[in-house]
Structure 1
Amino acid sequence: MTRLPPVRVARAATTVRTAVQGLTRRMVPPPVGVLELVSGLIEANTVYAVAKLGVADALARGPRAAADVAAELGTNPDATYRLMRAAAGYGLLHQDGDRFDLTALGRPLRSDAPDSMRAVVLMIGDPRYQSVWARLPESVTTGTAQAEAVHGVSMWELLDRDADYAATFNEAMTRLTALDWPTVAAAYDFTPFRRIVDVGGGHGRLLASMLGAAPAAEGVLFEQESLLPAAEELLREAGVLSRCRLVGGSFHDRVPDDGDLYVMRRVVHDLDDEQALALLTTVRRDMPAGATLLLLESIVPPGSGPDFAKTLDLDMLLFAGGRERTEQEYAALLDRAGLGMTRVVPTISTISLVEVRPAA
């Protein structure tokens, strides 16, 4: 297992990197800085094309000429060379004449890489996702989500109706859960709990990881019925299915009432304050008096510095009408639901652990 740096060291490194990026931007004329910012759209679509077309997979066995890659992929040779040349400029590939090889940054775009990010890139670069982001001005004007304006249905209904995009979305969520897990495991001890309930746990990746870290615990996956078959397969492959109970249902109505640790990863941020209050009130009603609730969420920090939580906050506004919250906003929301925040545990990733217990 990779040894992770302490949170304070990782955050100090991030502070230095952010300062260097800010200095770089201040060294160019403001109009050029604005052009560089908006050109991020071009970079993102270049990464998406490399992932979508399978360029990284075609380079899995080593350096190849762009023409050979094009022949394998069935793409235009000249356009393929131009795409790969641009990708090399972004550090995804290394170019030597007309031959290209994957760099360390490009390897996670392979579909078979242990740390693959291809599904995440395919989700974010998909036109069904990008078309909603194009309506950010409308979302800011109205304060409402825009997925329905684009697709005719809410984001959650789109995932129910569009099996292709749902598969990409769920695979991306599973991958992001796996990406966060080492930092969560380094920050929190799951061994004291005998029954862990993952509320809205998707395909079960997080539950499988928690049960791996707590070998004496049982697990309950509470999720909508349509996701349970895939979750059962993942939990079986992880070797923990015999310790699991899979329960179908909506967390807006109820949650299992026999856990001693309830976990919700990036669930509350999908909801506006009143929806979040209703969910947390339901959890408070159904969880045993001595149980613990653990929210895995991004926390918006104070100040004007860049932070992933601030970007993700706009994503929640656009797609679900939800929001990222500050520590103080979580404390106030939890208090309204009859819950008390016991501590916030930071990690070196973009996620923090908000530990909660029923208020006395």
Structure 2
Amino acid sequence: MTTHTDSADKLALRNTLIEGIGGYMTAHSIGVFAELGIADLIKDGVRGSDELAAESNTHEPSLRRLLRTLTAVGLATEPEPGRFGLTAVGSQLRSDSPDSLRAFSRMFCHPILLRAWQGLEHSVTTGERAFDHVYGKDFYTYVAEQGAANKLFNEAMGEESRIAAARLAAGYDFSRAEKIVDLGGGDGTLLAAVLPAHPHLKGIVFDSPGGVAEAPEVLKRAGIEERCEARAGDFFQDIPGDGDLYVIKSVFQDWSDEDSYALLRSCRAQIPASATLLIVGTVMPETSSPENPIMFFTDLNMLVNTGGRERTENEFRTMLEETGFSVERVLLGAAGPLSVIEARPAAAR
């Protein structure tokens, strides 16, 4: 005999699965909301869908349906019919928010990435990058050729870095360093947080020409352009040798084991023997659980788009030790959502 409790439990299980299946609908909804800039129009108030439609040049009944859906998933509020505000989560889609993730949302809900994700089965069955299979070239080459998308990607990576950069600036002891080199530093967001907090430091943001393109403006806004330069290059070939602290943030996740080992060997060969290497990134647990799904989605995103992956502490230790580094400390959660691995060149044997 089926009881009411049994039926309620089954309904809850059914709803959980269906909500997961509908995740792509949530992503598309957030992407359109961010692209249209609706959060900027709502700001701190409550606005009618008719006003918002007029200002965003959208179809009012359809916009209302989008806003009601976003209310249902916790980004908006509807205190009275047809009038909408923002939750604390939705406020992150305001472009003027210090915690803005609008560019991040636009990038990760962009048709370029959504189309690549349609190739997930190809990646799972072959181990190959779906992005290359779909577009005929690798992610970074393709995006670099797309002017607007490349700029959006750099901005999105800058937004993603803000919390980790602020935590690192506040929590790590930089007193022994004089010049910090951020390898793969993109638009300079990390050093734009670190250098103002530590006036004795100088810095170099080092990345590909496309990756570092927005850095001069970011460094200028932070008031550190006299102490920090943006330098373009290939960290597999030519790493600046005049630093004493090298930071690699959220880079190894992009690369295969082969490329990650190559990058570490490049570092070992070119950085001073007395330098410190900081790896700032996700450190995966040995087993998965529902507690932090973001890192597992990120890992899968790397499979689809770049061919990289997230790694465990033991995997990082193995890579570093096999490429001539000695791990000094592993500081889990020391950079907000990210961890910090401190290593030094090992003594030559």
TM-score, normalised by the number of residues in structure 1: 0.89
- In the alignment, structure 2 segments of 5+ residues that lack a partner are 1-7
Inter-partner Cα distance in structure 2 for 1:310 and 1:228? 28
For 2:318 and 2:10, the matched residues in 1 are separated by 42
* Distance in 2 separating the partners of 1:97 and 1:220: 53
Equivalent residues of 2:166, 2:193 under 8 A apart: no
Letter in 2 for 1:88: T
**Is the Cα–Cα contact under 8 Å of residues 170 and 197 in structure 2 kept in the other structure?**
no
Q: Which amino acid aligns with 2:317?
A: A
Contact 1:256–1:287 (Cα < 8 Å) also in 2: yes
- RMSD (Å), alpha carbons: 1.8
Q: Give the Cα–Cα distance (whole angstroms) in 1 for the partners of residues 223 and 10 of structure 2.
A: 54
> 1:131: how far off?
0.9
SS at match of 1:347: strand
* CA distance 1:89–1:32, shift in 2 (3 Å): closer
Determine if the alignment matches structure 1 residue 351 to structure 2 residue 338: yes
Provide, for residues 310-356 of structure 1, a one-character-per-residue CA deviation record: whole Å limited to 9, x for no partner.
22111111111111111001111111111111111122632110111
Alpha-carbon contact 2:274-2:345 (below 8 Å) kept: yes
Post-superposition offset of 1:245? 3.0
1:1-360 paired onto structure 2 within 5 Å: 28=11, 30-60=13-43, 62-95=45-78, 96-306=80-290, 307=292, 308-347=294-333, 349-360=336-347
Q: 8 Å contact 2:247–2:278 — kept in the other structure?
A: yes
Corresponding pairs, count: 336
Question: Bigger CA drift: 123-132 or 101-110?
Answer: 101-110
Give, in angstroms, the shift of residue 213 of structure 1.
2.4
Q: Percent identity?
A: 37
Partners of 2:180 and 2:246 within 8 A in 1? yes
Cα pair 2:47 2:83 within 8 Å, conserved = yes
Amino acid at match of 1:44: A
* Equivalent-residue separation in structure 1 for 2:212 and 2:64 (angstroms): 43
Report the CA distance shift for 1:27/1:186 in structure 2 as closer, same or farther (over 3 A): farther
Match of 2:3 in 1: none
Mapped to 1, the partners of 2:308 and 2:167 lie a distance apart of 25
1:113 and 1:172 map into 2 onto residues whose CA distance is 14
Contact 2:74 2:89 in 1 (8 A): yes
Helix, strand or coil at the partner of 2:340 = strand
Contact 2:44–2:86 under 8 Å retained in 1: no
Deviation at 1:290, TM superposition (A): 0.9
Partner secondary structure for residue 305 of structure 1:
coil
SS of the aligned residue for 1:209 comes to helix
1:8 matched to which residue of 2?
none
**Distance apart, 1:28 and its partner CA:** 4.6
Amino acid at match of 1:358: P
Following the alignment from structure 2 to structure 1, what is the Cα–Cα distance between the partners of residues 143 and 37?
24
- Once residues 268 and 295 of structure 1 are traced to their aligned partners in structure 2, the CA distance between those partners, rounded to angstroms, is 9
Distance (Å, rounded) in 2 between the aligned partners of 1:35 and 1:227 = 38
